[in-house]
Amino acid sequence: MKSFFLSLILPLLAVTSAIGTTTTGTGTSSSPLSVVVDLTHGYSFYTGFGTFLHHYMKPGQNGVNNWRSLKNLQLDNANVFILPACDDKVPYTDDDKAIVKKFVENGGGLVIMGSPGSKQQNAIAGVFDVQFGASGKAPLSFTANSGLSGEIESPNGFTLTFSKPEEWQPLVVNADGVPVLAEKKVGHGKVLAASSTLFGQRSQKKEGSINNEWINGLLVRLGSGRQVNLDQKVDGGDLVRTDNSRQVGSLVYHWSDYLAPSAEAMIKMDTRCRPSIEKFMGVPLSPGMSSEVGLLATGGGGYSNGRHIGLAVFWGGFPEREDSMIEFITHENVHSWVHPHAEPYWNEPIATYVGDLVMGDQGYPEEAAKRIANTIKPALAVDPEMKLYDLNGNGPDSAPKLDPGQQRAVNWGKSFWVFEQLRKDNPDFLAKYFQAKRKYVPAKLKHGYSLDDAVAIMSIAAGKDLFPWFCEHGMPVSRDKVQFQTN
């Protein structure tokens, strides 16, 4: 089980992702660029949350993510199409290959980001006689006739091999002179084969993503063979406007044609988990929450922004293995269930903790107990009595300073430990907690829902004053800071 979920990373961008990420443009731009980034073959947080478009596009240029199968995508007003990734369980079809080839032949610019481990990215690259190989030696540098300048921020790059090298123009090479970025003219357009290491990481030296000072110009050049009207954006759909939708009770599920083989199993699993989630949460979802479910072409994670949740269809080896998927689906749902106020400090841990409880309820009690114990264990290793560090892994000046990994272990482990301690004598504690939270906490607070507020509500659920207990265990709280009345 991955120890982290990215469901609430950049929450505002999550909302943007759900409605389609764009940068607005005008038809008078001196560098017309209309980019479409495909999410249907391989969803990632870097592309799905809009980071690529946000960091590599400029004002006056259009960018949109695509959530539809390529046969249902209109690329007439795009001049650059980007294929950032492809999960090997979602192969490019023969129609897909024909569509991208025609797009390039008609003047478009195609970007294929790849690595040697991606069979399907190599399959689409093979259409244009290029393959991605192992990393080579750093540093990377521009070739003399690349027309590019600036700093290349990447420790290495996946090498490119060509079956027809005379047709390719290397733009960036490694220390051995082997290309990691190259372009090829195809019909009236161009194909850019790019090591994925050149994109997708936050820069350590400046604001934004690596290499953003020269990639935009490269994209403009790549799309120069095709005229576009920047007053008309490409409609790539969004999480809830894709190829297929089905209503199941109050829920609506959405998926692309590529994920049709996985849709039924995911719908059954999500609807199976929800009654167990409600049992442990003690309350139904707030109206509208977690009511739109989009399926994502990845095994790497999902997100929730309240109404919309995105679920990775290949998480944890699903459908062959279902325990991790139960935990994961619960995690994303809990992020919506806690609304209208996210939990303090343990917002991520509590979602997984409830996921483990639901996993046990759904037939995997031993695995659930093991995961809970394994999460608490690293925190106990640095704080055996759970009295030294707070929920952020910070302690008094006399305490050893923890590195970021240890702080995170304390955040997760101590959170799980708190829930376990409070459930020992009261197995229904969490349900009572969320019931009291709904009853006493106003929908609007002057400040965000705090740990002081949470302990006040937990005290109601436990039937005793928990403020001294939290303070004793390194989590300073005060009833004087509670923002509402609890009696």
Q: For 378-432, write each residue's pLDDT tens digit.
A: 999 999 999 999 999 999 999 999 999 999 999 999 999 999 999 998 999 999 9
| pLDDT for position 422 | 98
Integer CA distances (angstroms), 137 to 145, 147, 157, in order: 21, 23, 8
Distance from C-alpha of 75 to C-alpha of 470, rounded to nearest angstrom: 57
- CB of 429 closer than 8 Å to CB of 423: yes
Give strand pairing partners of 304.
309
Distance from C-alpha of 420 to C-alpha of 82, rounded to nearest angstrom: 47
Across the beta sheet with 308-312, the strand order is: 244-248, 251-255, 292-296, 308-312, 303-304
| pLDDT for position 388 | 97
pLDDT tens digits for range 309-350:
999 999 999 999 999 999 999 999 999 999 999 999 999 999
DSSP state letters, 226-295: S---TTS-----BTTBSSEEEEETTEEEEE-GGGHHHHHHHHHHHHHHHHHHHHHH-SPPPTTTT-EEEE
In three-state secondary structure terms, 65 is strand
Can you tell me which residue has the tokens 């950032």?
Answer: 84
Distance from C-alpha of 40 to C-alpha of 241, rounded to nearest angstrom: 12
Q: Please give the angle made by the CA atoms of 278, 280 and 282, to the nearest 5 degrees.
A: 60
- Count the residues in the chain: 487
Over its C-alpha atoms, the chain yields an Rg (Å, rounded) of 25
Report the candidate in 117, 141, 126 with the shortest Cα–Cα distance to residue 96. 126
| pLDDT for position 31 | 75
| pLDDT for position 30 | 54
DSSP state letters, 194-244: EEGGGSSSB-SSSSSBTTHHHHHHHHHHHTTTS---TTS-----BTTBSSE
Query: Long-range CB contacts (< 8 A, 24+ apart) of 465-471?
Result: 466/422
Integer CA distances (angstroms), 352 to 62, 251, 347, in order: 38, 22, 9
- In the chain, what is the greatest distance between 2 CA atoms, to the nearest angstrom? 79
Phi, psi angle pair for 303, to nearest 5°? -155, 165
| pLDDT for position 311 | 97
pTM confidence score: 0.90
114's enclosing H/E stretch is strand 109-114
Using the 8-state DSSP alphabet, how is residue 400 labeled?
P
Using the 8-state DSSP alphabet, how is residue 316 labeled?
G
| pLDDT for position 67 | 97
Distance from C-alpha of 253 to C-alpha of 239, rounded to nearest angstrom: 10
Residues of the chain with pLDDT under 50: 1-29
